[in-house]
Structures are given as C-alpha cells and as structure tokens.
Chain A
Amino acid sequence: MIDKIVLAGFGGQGVLFIGKILAYAGMLDEQEVCWIPSYGPEMRGGTANCSVIISDEAINSTVLEHADSGIVLNQPAYEKFLPFIKPGGTLVVNSSVIDTTNSRDDIEIVEVPTNEITSELGNPSLANMVCLGALLNRLTTAKLSSIEKAIDEVVAKKRPQMREVNITAVKKGMAY
C-alpha cells in the first residue's frame, strides 16, 4: 500500500504543516514516509507545496511525476496540480476560494466549503485541517487515529489547547 499525496496553497495556509501531520501519522503507524518540500526561490511568497509519500514498504524514488491524491487550497494550486493527479485519484478542493469550472472527469474532485466550516469552528486558519479530513477517507495508509496521534505529537506538545479544535476540524472534513 502506498499513497503519494501532493499538498499546495498560498504560503501561510498551512500546506507544509498538514504534510507534516500526514508524515508523522505514517511514521507513528510504523510505516515508511517521506515529506518532500518544493524548496527553492518559490518558497518565499506565492505558492507553497510539498509532497508526502506513505508506504508500508521501503520508499525508493521520491521523484513524483503524478500523485494519487492531493489537497489544493487556492486557485493557482488548483490549476497547477489538477493535471498532476493520476486518473482514478482524488483532489480535495477548498471550494470557498477555488473556481472548478475547468475540471476533469477521470478523478474525484471533493469540494469542501471551508469558510462555512471554519467560521462554525471559530477559527479561519483551520481550512487546511478540514481539507485533510476530507482526504483522509480516500487514503489507504492513514486513518483518523493516526492523525490524532500526529496532532498530539506536532501540535499538542507545544499548544495543548489547540488539540481538540484541530481534531474537530479533521472530523468535520471527513463528512465530505
């Protein structure tokens, strides 16, 4: 079992962060993981993206030509990574800010109205976690319990008060 996942959005939307959560989730489940940033000049402002590979076997190549699934949080990320998803794959879309007129019918596009959900949660910065929840059901290598462990490790150690709201956001996303 292997998941190759791409995550993209504006710098500051927390795409590298949910990548880290996914990688920790895989590692804490004793799987092999790679968190691959797109490093370089573009990391300063503009679109940020990273890829995560989770596998129950050793990971060899970390060079992705296509991803099994992905999350895009803004329009430029959507345009850039729409063609990047393998046929039969999944793209989770932050539909509050992304126009999906230009689309594909050979992949599943999961539209998540993050604004509605995050205003319900009272924290607009959780759009990334909501989308992570929406992706979670489509992954073969991660489940809610492993994401919870990762949140404990990455978030709750420094800011315990943020634990519940993050998990709630993920759960809300899982409804999509």
Chain B
Amino acid sequence: MRRQLLKGNEAIAEAAIRSGCKLFFGYPITPSTEIIEYLSRNLPKAGGAVLQGEDEIASINMCYGAAATGARVMTASSSPGYSLKQEGMSYLAAAELPVVVVNINRNGPGLGGLGPSQGDYFQCTKGGGHGDYRTIVLAPSKGQEMYDYTMKAFDLADKYRTPVVILADGMLGQTMEPIEFKERPSVELPEKDWVTTGCIGRPKRKISMYNLTNEAGEEISLKLQAKFNKMKDLEQQWENYCTDDAEYLLVGYGTCGRVGKSAVQLARQQGIKLGLIRPITLWPFPEKAFISLPKIKGILTVELNAGQMVEDVKLAVKCSIPVQSHTRVGGMLLSENSVLKKLAEVFQLEVRV
C-alpha cells in the first residue's frame, strides 16, 4: 500500500522510528496514549526500546540521560503530563540536550477534559519551565504533517542541541488519515562531539547546567540567547494560503489551520478576498510572514483557547492592522461557518452562512 491509515499519534510514532529514534520514555495519558502503545509494539522490532516511566518527571529525565549519550530519544504526553515535564524541559534547554517532546493538547486548566484544545500555546512557546529559554515548537495540522514534522523535529533538535516540541490538539492525535511513510530527508547535522559515553581514548566530559558565579551565569545565558536568536532568524516557518490578493486574513494553526482553509474557500465563494497564514513553527513565531503582505484590512486569529496566539500576531503586525480573535474553549471545536460568521461580524462584511 502506498499509504497507511493511521491515527495522528501513530503517524508521529512511526516517523520517530524512521527518524532513528532508539529510545522512548513516557507515561500514558489520553489523548496521546497511542504514541507509547504504537512504539511499545514497533520500536523493539526496529532495535530500539520503550520504557514506561513511573511518572512524567521520570520519563523526561530518562530522556535527558539518553540524550546525554547522543541517542535519538522522544517522549510524549498531553497537557497535565506536559506540565509535569516542565522542570525537565528547562534542564534540557540549559544542558543543551536534543529531545523531541510531543504534547497532544487537551483541555485545561487542571485535569480539565479530554477534548481537543490549544490551551498550551503559551506554555509551549514562552518557555514553560523556569528560567530564560525557548524551545522550537512545531504545529502540524493534518496526519501527514504529524509524520513529516516529527522527522523535522529530530533534525532540528540535533542541529541546535535543543528540545523540540510537537504541539498538536487532541483532534489531530485521534483522527486517522492516510500516511505516506516517507524516507528520512538527508540533512547535514553537526557531529555530536559533546556526548558523555564513557571517556575511552579521550579526556573526560561532563554535561551540566549550573554556574557558580553570576558572571559565569551571564556568560552561559548570553550564549543560550544567541542560539535562540539564531533559531528565530533561521527557523520561522509558515504556510500561505490564498494570501496573494487577500484583503482579510485568518491566522490559525493545527486543527484551526485546516478549518481556516475551509473558511477561506467559503468566503471566496461569496467574493470575499480572504487568505490564511498557518504558522508551522509556533516558536519562533513566523513574524516574517506578516512583512510582505498585500494591503490587509483586518486579521482574525482562530484558536481553540481563550486567545493566546493572538498576542503574537498583534506583536508581529505591530498593531498596524486591526486584529480580532475567534476562539472556542473547553474542548469544543469551531467550524468554518463560525469563522466566517465571526469575520463578518467583526469587520462588518455581508455573508451568507
């Protein structure tokens, strides 16, 4: 078969195996559990191993240890579990260890519910754990992208020695779509000359992240910030959809990205020149996408939260364009019709819905 019918979660797991991921440490939580289940069945066949940690904290720290040896390693969770991993995320960022961390976003705060959500946008893009750091965040919007971006995530993690987050709402994790098992793209990556694998025939190494003086702290922090700035410069990614002649613009990622495309089609059937920017990297946020736009009269952001990414959009356009927000919360979804209706309402347009 050219394509396999897989849940988005399973597509991530398959891509991890085909990216050379050798170890997975995780803890079951809905709606991400198919990732650890799929890997438990299939990673050992590919010469790797899955270990179910005693908790999320153990799992992310097992990733920390495995990454220190240079192995490709992944963990996956959903919102409450992702919160528990934040200590580890901060340490991974500080110790510059490449780990792919998947967050299949469900509704919060607290235990919340199992429904799809984008409520973890702030947590994923603004650091999440303590201290001054950022992680690359990739946001797939369909099954094949769950696969493709996972491969990309492993390469980015190795390229920058950094944890990389894949953030997808529960809808994407649970929906089955045909997936093409593409081969790993060939990418030139830096040699891992920093790994702690036992000092056979070389001087000893250490991997750590503390500083004994504030002066050293400043130096380490500035070095990290320089790396984050480089990512910001080089790694912004987004998709333009019907933006060339657009007068109005939607901005949405994940499930809202694909709903947005349907809304664009509906609007254009009615003569409204609507386009979509779908951020692929949520951090770095694709500010560059907003630089060379045609004359835009208004932007509507679409999110499954109370309005988080809208702040980054406002920063990206420096408030030069009116930015409005369309949201739905609590694990509920929003449709293309609701997007169109909101667009008409906030920008005084005539539409038939």
Contact = CB atoms under 8 A, between A and B. Distances in A.
**Direct interface between A and B, CB < 8 A:** yes
Interface of A: 20, 23-24, 27-28, 30, 32-37, 39-41, 59-65, 153
B175 A40 contact: no
Interface of chain B, helix or strand or loop or mixed?
mixed
B191 to A, nearest CB: 40
B171 A23 contact: no
A94 to B, nearest CB: 24
B335 interface: yes
Contacts, number: 70
Interface of chain A, helix or strand or loop or mixed?
mixed
Contacts of B333: 63
A63 B335 contact: yes
A68 to B, nearest CB: 15
Q: How large is the interface on B (under 10, 10 to 19, 20 to 34, 35 or more residues)?
A: 20 to 34
B19 interface: no
B178 A33 contact: yes
B175 A62 contact: yes
B176 interface: yes
B178 A32 contact: yes
B1 A28 contact: yes
Contacts of A33: 5, 177-178
B5 A63 contact: no
A111 B265 CA distance: 36
A63 B259 contact: yes
13 contacts: A32-B178, A33-B177, A34-B177, A35-B177, A39-B170, A40-B115, A59-B177, A60-B258, A61-B261, A62-B255, A63-B334, A65-B335, A153-B1
Given A27-B178, A62-B255, 17 more contacts: A20-B176, A24-B5, A27-B3, A33-B178, A35-B175, A37-B175, A39-B174, A40-B114, A40-B115, A40-B331, A59-B258, A61-B259, A61-B261, A62-B258, A63-B255, A63-B333, A63-B336
B31 interface: yes
B65 interface: no
B113 interface: yes
Contact of B174 (A30, A37, A65): A37
